[in-house]
Amino acid sequence: MHTMFRRIIYLFLLAAVMASLSACAGRDRDEPRGETAAELYDYAHRQMVARDYTGAVEAFQRIESRFPFSIEAQQAQLELIYAHYKSGNHEQAEAASDRFLREQPRHPEIDYVHYVRGLINFDRSLNLIDVTFRADSSKRDPTLARQSFQSFATLVANYPESRYAPDAQQRMVHLRNQLARHEIHVADYYMRLGAWAGAVGRAKTVIEEYEGTPSTVDALIILHNAYRRLALHELADDVARVVAATHPDATTRLAD
């Protein structure tokens, strides 16, 4: 009995030792063996490739704290933006991009920073619940969408040859349509309240700032109908003529 008990203990201890050795071996393979900035950066990059973005963030931060004046530390600042973004830490990613733009404004990859900064707020302007239930994200606060649009616009305007510019332009089209729809939602709300002047203001914003978006016709309809409510019949007739010329199918939506 005692012999069997001792054998069980022995096997248990042996398994524990083997597990410990295996873990150490794993750490030896994954973690940097040396203390140089290059070795730490190589490790951080491998974490990025493995999509362990949390591990990558920790590694890049270690480079910055231990080798603040190294080339690797400068690159770590850049990589941290994306690592934070992919980790879902959007606020940290935005802060990291702010810091990079402030400290390294002439970096050759500054276009990339503007692009990722646009992506950060592009994703934040969406909501998982909205996507799941197919809700219209344009009904939400447009602040993040505007910030995203501005980042992409800066990229396209200042770095038109950037490889990120084409994707940024496509996203800008989406954001512009979304921002225009937001103005329409607010204008509709004012119409329901009977705040005709407020509806006119929002409709004009769409026509003047978001010309060419699908929401333009909705803005013209709201503008016409609000003018009718305000007894500004000449202005309403002018808008009606524009609708008839540009969107004849929508004339049935004009108020009498």
pLDDT digits (tens, 9 = 90+) for 64-94: 999 999 999 999 999 999 999 999 999 999 9
- Residue 48 pLDDT: 95
- Residue 256 pLDDT: 80
Across the range 196-218, mean pLDDT stands at 96
pTM summary value: 0.79
Check pLDDT > 90 for residue 18. no
- Residue 7 pLDDT: 53
Q: Which residues, in sequence order, are CB contacts of 183 under 8 Å at separation 6+?
A: 202, 203, 205, 206, 210, 215, 219
Banded pLDDT at 126 (limits 50, 70, 90): confident
Check pLDDT > 70 for residue 131. no
CB-based contact 217:247 (threshold 8 Å): yes
DSSP string, the chain: -HHHHHHHHHHHHHHHHHHHHHHHHHHHHHS-SS-SHHHHHHHHHHHHHTT-HHHHHHHHHHHHHH-TTSHHHHHHHHHHHHHHHHTT-HHHHHHHHHHHHHH-TT-TTHHHHHHHHHHHHHHHTS-HHHHHTT--GGGS--HHHHHHHHHHHHHHHH-TT-TTHHHHHHHHHHHHHHHHHHHHHHHHHHHHHT-HHHHHHHHHHHHHHSTTSTTHHHHHHHHHHHHHHTT-HHHHHHHHHHHHHH-GGGGGGS--
In angstroms, what CA-CA distances link 63 with 33, 41, 91, 99, 101?
14, 7, 21, 16, 19
- Residue 5 pLDDT: 46
* Percent of the chain residues past pLDDT 70, beyond the cut: 82
Cα separation, 123 vs 144, whole angstroms: 9
Q: Quick one: CA torsion of 204, 206, 211, 216, rounded to 10 degrees?
A: -100
